[in-house]
Structure 1
Amino acid sequence: MTTPRKSPRRTAIRATSAPADRPADDAIWPRVTREVADDLAVDAPARDRAGKAPFDEVARLQEAGLPALLTAPRADRRGADWRAASAVVREISAADSSVGELLAHHYVLSWSSRFFGPAPDTGSVPALDARTAQEHWLLAGGVEPPRTGTDPGLTLTPATGGWILDGRRAFTSGVAVADRLVVGARPGGTGDWLVVLVDPAHPGVFTDPGTERVGQRLSGAGTVTFDHVPIPAEHVLGLLPYDEHAVAPFATLAPLALRLLLVQVGLGIAEGALAEARDVSRAGQAGPVPVPLERDGSSVAGADPVGPGDDPYLLLAYGELATAAHAASAVVERATDALARGLLAGPALGPEERADIAVLVAAAETLTGRAAVRITTRVLELVDGAEGADAQGGGPGFDRFWRNARALTAPTQPALRLRDIGDHYLNGTHARLTLPA
């Protein structure tokens, strides 16, 4: 058994100006995201092979101000919406999906006080939003209860002025490099869960980084042990009722938001793999172009040279893969619009609207997961033997797209999602309002 160890705190250089104060408008954020994505794409294969904790990658995000994208607006700053956050995650993931996953978890966790806390006064800024923007935090963790009954999860014991946190839990993203952890824990003697904010630099917090991963190697995954960590009352962000009937529909958008942002990561993987494969195939046209020959070896009269770009089977392959990516994108966009409307509704969101959103998210998750695996698998075949496509020789490393797609989609259960979609379509049944959804 590996002994948990204290993870090193990030020493990355922060931007001298306040990047979180940049206006979040349609002109600036797409350009900033594109610049970061281009920067990440340059050395993505080398960083994937190295498999180090993503301190440098997080520094690039922080310097660009991307983690503060979804924080609440102020008088001098207009906040971006979930559509913008989805676009950021998707484009970053096309360059480096591990960094995209890390950012996806951060965005959802940054809304924890909105999802699970009391309704804020009109015009006020949720505490977690304000601190995240002010301190330039990167958040990691997870608030959902354990998926198995044998896993006790994290526990809270009442103490003077707050609680004491104990337990051990694995997380899929960010805990190796996070500034703060947002976790769900069970108070002793109750079935409800509290969502709390934890400083990973506390002496009682130990992180064992997940270094032996098939894919998504740079997402900062790991197992965290909490040993008698004090949680002040002001660091309790909200409550997750154990009773399904006591859960507000708006709170159950939290797992749907995370699932949909991870769908954006998967779609980014597919689009990134397809774009890089296209570049390799185009580059293959630079050499001598063969001319069709007769059976006797003579050139076909009047025939045009046939290059890789004229190969009908290659064109067919790219046509099929591009269509699969377009179809997944259309479904994901529809689900993203529905989720954005649900988040805008806030506490007024009803169970019917939440059920419709859940179905669209499940459809996007199923279709995109299959498309990502299919596209990244087929891309490996299309670039096989192409010049510059050998990962061992320092080339593009197309295997990382396939590994990342498999690692990201493996935990999902398409059969269960499809069953829920069919039950809703045929019988009008609502998915249960539980966490995780």
Structure 2
Amino acid sequence: MAEIERVIPQKSAEQFVYVAQQLRREFEKTAADVDASGAYPADNMRLIHETGLDAICFPREWGGVIGSAPNEDLEAIAEIFTELAAGESSTAQIFNVHRGLTFELFSGGAMSNERKQTLHREIMKEDARICSPAAEPTKKRFSFQTSCKPVPGGVVIDGTKYFATGCEGSRYGVAPVLMDGFSSVEDGGLHWVLVRLDAPGVTLNRDWDNMGQRATGSSSVTFNNVFIPDGSHWSGNAGGQRSNPTSAKNISGPVSQIVMAAIILGMGFGALDAMCTYIREHVRPTNPEWKDQTEDPITQHHIGRYSTMLAAARSANRDAARSVVRFMRKGGSRADVSVAMMHAKVAAIDAAMTTAGELHRLCGGQSTANKYRLDRFWRNARTLSTHDSQDVKLRQIGSYILGGVEPPANYVT
């Protein structure tokens, strides 16, 4: 394995784009095996830790590289996750969840300084990870039923969470719960807990068996009378971007979606890399006068088409990240930021799905053999792109352009 440079001193997120490019080449060597096994990508996560990339998870006052205006580095963050996902996309998704939660915990005022110091040591010295057991199978988004009851010295939680990406390799989970005495989170009942996943009463159900992003371990987690000590739980209004996502000034939705688009985009670049490698090494030339299939004009045409779609989507995502920075610095229309993000995400999905979906078209029948796992790019892109509706985004873009109807401010717009 090639030695990957550790960035010292740590000054900016942009420095880590080069590190992510190196990690991409390491991750892609074992990506097919990671997909085949579906096991937590422990080696990849260890490499992330060893290269110092955890610095993008922390504010500067905690030894990280993210400044007081956290989204100033969004373009670099998106580039980092495009590179990581091009190498192995489950790893990128797991690390992005950990990054977002870690930054929020350390930039907000919900936890005591003493608790932060302990958690910082665990992450930086022991490679501890954090996941997000948040979702519940209700028809209404954020209609949480996992209960939270005050007890002496803390709270006790009961319930089941789903899509806990990275839980199989995480030490902690950050979970939204419903405080006892409230009928809903809208009534003020939203509460957050930082729970150890090896605590008594916590069960990782290991029931993630989806076609794509197989190594994310996005299983359900059951909490049965789990005690959370004081200092590791807080009110939903205690600060952080999650406290009021519907505010016209809150851009956590576009920010998170730009990074999501970056990961999907990386899947497309990974598919293009794998396609070109397979064509060079395995595909017989359709014309005996050619040295290899790379001389085929039709193949050249399609590779050019995929590359152009991916490049355009990457440019759109960079523009969306810059629109966030402009909004932070100068204000303006949140709707414009949201639409820029939606343009980028739709373009990223289309580019990745087209590239991954047509891979076998150029690589031929032998490329469908399971030993190559080349279908993983399409499976991964299709799986992650269903996180929220692409069609709704297209309708919201059109509604804004035609009638000036602004997209709602929420977690995905």
Which TM bucket (shorter chain)?
0.7 to 0.9
Q: How many residues align?
A: 392
> What SS is found at the alignment partner of 1:267?
helix
Q: How does 1:70-85 map to 2 (within 5 A)?
A: 70-74=57-61, 78-79=65-66, 81-85=73-77
1:57 & 1:37 partners in 2: Cα distance? 10
CA RMSD of aligned residues (A): 3.6
Q: CA deviation at 1:149?
A: 3.8
Which one-letter code corresponds to 1:427 in the other structure? Answer: G
Which one-letter code corresponds to 2:201 in the other structure? Answer: G
Q: 8 Å contact 2:134–2:162 — kept in the other structure?
A: no
TM-score of the two chains, using structure 2 as the length reference: 0.82
Which one-letter code corresponds to 1:38 in the other structure? Answer: R
Q: 8 Å contact 1:72–1:126 — kept in the other structure?
A: no
Q: How does 1:115-194 map to 2 (within 5 A)?
A: 130=120, 132-133=123-124, 136-143=127-134, 148-149=139-140, 152-190=144-182, 191=185, 192=188, 193-194=190-191
Q: What residue number does 1:272 align with?
A: 270
Which one-letter code corresponds to 2:320 in the other structure? Answer: A
Q: 8 Å contact 2:55–2:63 — kept in the other structure?
A: no
Q: 8 Å contact 1:21–1:76 — kept in the other structure?
A: no
2:42 & 2:273 partners in 1: Cα distance? 27
1:72-126 deviation digits (Å, cap 9, x = unpaired) = 11386644733332222111110111111111212222233478757999xxx98
1:264-308 deviation digits (Å, cap 9, x = unpaired) = 1110010111122112223358989723xxxxxxxxxxxxx5752
Question: Is 1:379 aligned with 2:355?
Answer: no
Question: Is 1:423 aligned with 2:410?
Answer: no
Question: Is 1:225 aligned with 2:217?
Answer: no
Q: 8 Å contact 2:272–2:355 — kept in the other structure?
A: yes
Q: How does 1:392-431 map to 2 (within 5 A)?
A: 392=370, 394-395=371-372, 397-431=373-407
Pick closer, same or farther for the CA change 1:144–1:285 going to 2, 3 Å: closer
Which one-letter code corresponds to 2:209 in the other structure? Answer: E
Q: CA deviation at 1:234?
A: 1.8
**Bigger share in helix:** 2
1:59 & 1:340 partners in 2: Cα distance? 31
1:230 & 1:290 partners in 2: Cα distance? 70
Structure 2 residue runs of 5 or longer lacking an equivalent are: 1-5, 68-72
Q: CA deviation at 1:311?
A: 1.9
Q: 8 Å contact 2:46–2:127 — kept in the other structure?
A: no
Question: Is 1:370 aligned with 2:354?
Answer: no
Which one-letter code corresponds to 1:52 in the other structure? Answer: A
The match for 2:203 among 188, 201, 206 is 206
Q: 8 Å contact 1:175–1:222 — kept in the other structure?
A: yes
Pick closer, same or farther for the CA change 1:133–1:59 going to 2, 3 Å: closer
The match for 1:101 among 93, 100, 104 is 93
Pick closer, same or farther for the CA change 1:206–1:341 going to 2, 3 Å: farther
Q: 8 Å contact 1:110–1:129 — kept in the other structure?
A: no
Which one-letter code corresponds to 1:141 in the other structure? Answer: S
Pick closer, same or farther for the CA change 1:237–1:56 going to 2, 3 Å: farther
1:191-210 deviation digits (Å, cap 9, x = unpaired) = 33123211111112111123
2:90 & 2:314 partners in 1: Cα distance? 20
Question: Is 1:195 aligned with 2:192?
Answer: yes
The match for 1:53 among 40, 58, 63 is 40
1:56 & 1:306 partners in 2: Cα distance? 39
TM-score of the two chains, using structure 1 as the length reference: 0.78
Q: CA deviation at 1:261?
A: 1.5
Pick closer, same or farther for the CA change 1:119–1:99 going to 2, 3 Å: closer
Q: How does 1:321-336 map to 2 (within 5 A)?
A: 321-336=306-321
Q: What residue number does 2:84 align with?
A: 92
1:20 & 1:232 partners in 2: Cα distance? 36
Question: Is 1:32 aligned with 2:19?
Answer: yes
Q: 8 Å contact 1:116–1:239 — kept in the other structure?
A: no
Larger radius of gyration: 1
